[in-house]
Amino acid sequence: MENLVQLAMQNVNFAAIMPSLVLCCFGMAILLINVFMPRGKTTSASLISIIALLVTAVVSLQGWNNPQFGFAGHVALDNFATFFNMTFLLAAGLTILMSDDYLRREGYPIGEYYPLILFSTAGAMWMASGTDLMTIFLGLEVLSISLYILAGMFRHQLQSNEAGLKYFLLGAFSTGFLLYGIALLYGVAGTTNVADIGLYLSAHPAMIGNPMTVAGMLLMSIGFLFKIAAAPFHMWTPDVYQGAPTPVTAFMSAGPKAAAFAALMRIFILGLAGLQSEWTSLLWGLAILTMIIGNVTAIYQTNLKRMLAYSSIAHAGYALVGLVAANAVGVSGILFYMLAYTFMNLGAFAVLVLAGKKGEENLTLEGFSGFGFKRPFLGVAMTIFLLSLMGIPPTAGFAGKFYIFAGAIKSGYIWLAIIGVLNSAVSLYYYLRVIVYMYFKDPQEDYSWVSMHTGAVVSIVIAIVGVLYLGIIPGKIMEMAKLAIF
């Protein structure tokens, strides 16, 4: 018995998994506390979650420039993981801040909500810090299962049910692809360790062109591209985003996307560097397809949640451009972009959370007529977020796009950069239309139902500060993103 314990402790380095560990412990504690709380009282749970995120942030920052490895090389808390951890924590924090009053308004003040957000954040962290395909896969599962439940949380709303079920079925399907790809790669290299796969492939160049390797790479990409919501694996996005509770949609648009990018980057750049020409040509096409489908379809949307869903597809396309470039500028550009996207998109969703009536039937373009003058703070905030999503300076969106397209041009993908820029020109149209409705149309209503709940307002303020900080003086964060890549 003692022998077994010793055996299990051999490779243990808790510092390497401390952030996710802290989150899970807090999550379980909240589950327990919920038992003793009266039904419908969730404010304390949300406060504890915020504390949990802050503690985790402090713990996670210990790994900055102080990489921790452990568990037989299955997990690493390096700069890369730390940077992404901060992004996830930010996404989770903003989500939780905007959730409390929202859940009460919609009639679902459920205590399980907060632990589930924390658990899915922990899953995202495992994806970013996993250095073994198994860890990454399990991280993806943890992330997804929590999100399946969260997406279908409004049990008595058909749309939410549909969102949960659709996300679950398609997600399970895509995870199957991912697992199949992992199995094939394991068959090739005899290991699931990302770095070892890379070593094996560089030692056996003949295996690089092997159909099994290529098939493994392709199947694995499908799994991640599904989570990123890249075309042609984006079909689930609009329905799920529209049907899920708005804060959950906000989290879904930032957290899992960043996590999947983290995993994809680690696997492709560290493990499958030998196949770079294969995966760049694959991602090149998919990036263009994703940008075009996302932007062109978004033009036709009148529901704002749906419009933001398609816009999130388009943004996945921009970020893919950075991965195609596959140089220091492009890759650190993705890190920066994911952080910027988290700020601007969650900010926009926070405004939607406040602007919605119960049931959110009014979150359409028409429903925003004259909103800007009736609710000046929310109007200005929404305008800043939309300008950032468009990529207009001096906002975070501009700095991020600039970074990524500079990477693409540097690697010689000039046409890709041009197509990307043209796509952002297309995107102007539908983002601008929201501004047009907010300010140029006469108000139909007085928006008296909009009350400025503290949590959501705080999250909006944080997002504004972030968007402007990253837009005006991005130097420090860019420096960190550069240090964070491999």
Partner 1 sequence: MTAAIFYILSAAALLATLMAITRKNPVHAVIYLVHAFFALALIFFILGAPLVAAWEVIIYAGAIMVLFLFIIMMLELTPGEAARGPGWQRWAPVILLSGSIVVCTLLLMTAEPQAGPGGPNFYASPRDFGYGLFKEYALAVEIVSFQLLFAAVGAFYVGRGERTRRRARGDER
Partner 2 sequence: MTSFPVLTSLLLLPLAGTGLCLLFRRKPDLCRALTLATTLVMLALCAWVFCQQPDAAGWYLREDYPWIERLGARFTLAMDGLSLLMVVLTAFLQVIAVLISWHQKKHPAFFYALLLLMEAGILGVFLASDLLLFYLFWEVMLIPMFFLIGIWGHGRRVYAAVKFFLFTLAGSLLMLLAIIGLYLLHGKQTGDYSFALEALKHTDCGAWEPWLYAGFMLGFLVKVPVVPLHTWLPDAHTVAPAAGSLDLAGLLLKTGVFGILRFAFPLFPQSAAASLPLLAFLALVGLFYAAWCAYIQGDVKRLIAYSSVSHLGVIMLGLAAANVLALEGAILLMLCHGLTTGALFALVSMLRRRTGTRELAKLGGMWQEAPIFSCFFLFFALASLGLPGLANFSGEILVFAGTFQVRPLWGALAVVGVVFAAAYILRMVQELLWGERPAGRPWPDLTTLEVVALAPLVFFTLWLGLYPETFLAHLHLPVKILLEQAAPLVAAHGGLP
- Say which entry of partner 2, partner 1, none residue 436 contacts (CB below 5 to 8 A, set by partner kind): partner 2
Cα–Cα distance between 278 and 280 in angstroms, integer? 6
- Min dist CB 471 to partner 2, Å, is 9
Is 408:334 a contact under the CB 8 Å cutoff? Answer: no
- Give the nearest distance from C-beta 424 to partner 2 in angstroms: 7
If binding is defined by CB under 8 A, does position 141 make contact with partner 1?
yes
Place of tokens 């439940």: 149
Q: Show contacts with partner 2 in window 392-451 (CB under 8 A).
A: 392-394, 398, 402, 405-406, 409-410, 414, 417-418, 421-422, 424-425, 428-429, 432, 436, 439-440
User: Both tokens of residue 219?
Assistant: 């199947």
- Residue number with CB closer to partner 2 (234 or 433): 433
Could you give the CA distance from residue 369 to residue 346 in angstroms, rounded to a whole number?
A: 22
Which of 58, 72, 380, 465 lies at the binding interface for partner 2 (CB under 8 A)? 380
Cα 163 off chain centre by: 18
- Sole window of 12-20, 45-53, 264-272, 373-381 interacting with partner 2 (rule: CB under 8 A): 373-381
Q: Does 146 bind partner 1 (CB under 8 A)?
A: yes
> What residues from 17 to 36 belong to the interface with partner 1 (CB under 8 A)?
17, 24, 28, 31
Cis peptide before 247 (omega within 30 of 0): no
DSSP assignment letter at 447: -
Distance CA 357, CA 368 (A): 12
Closest approach, Cβ 344 to partner 2, in A, equals 16
Residue 393 interacting entry, from partner 1, partner 2, none, C-beta within 5 to 8 Å by type: partner 2
Contacts of 456 (CB under 8 A, 6+ apart): 97, 98, 101, 102, 350, 353, 354
Sole residue written with tokens 């290529």: 214
Among 74, 227, 266, 433, binds partner 1 (CB under 8 A): 74
Candidates 33, 134, 183, 215: give the one binding partner 1 (CB under 8 A).
Answer: 134
HEC-encoded secondary structure of 355-411: HCCCCCCCCECHHHCCHHHHCHHHHHHHHHHHHHHHCCCCCHHHHHHHHHHHHHHHC
Q: Which two tokens stand for residue 275?
A: 């196949």
Contact 257/312 with Cβ under 8 angstroms? yes
Residue carrying structure tokens 């159909």: 211
Distance in angstroms (rounded) separating the CA atoms of residues 225 and 319: 12
Query: Any contact of residue 112 with partner 1 (CB under 8 A)?
Result: yes
32 is an interface residue for partner 2 by CB under 8 A: no
Closer residue to partner 1 in complex, CB, 17/331: 17
Where does this chain bind partner 2 (CB under 8 A)?
Answer: 373, 376, 380, 387, 392-394, 398, 402, 405-406, 409-410, 414, 417-418, 421-422, 424-425, 428-429, 432, 436, 439-440, 473-475, 478-479, 482
Where does this chain bind partner 1 (CB under 8 A)?
Answer: 4, 7-8, 10-12, 17, 24, 28, 31, 70-72, 74-75, 110, 112, 115-116, 119, 122, 126, 132, 134-135, 138-139, 141-142, 145-146, 148-149, 152-153, 155-156
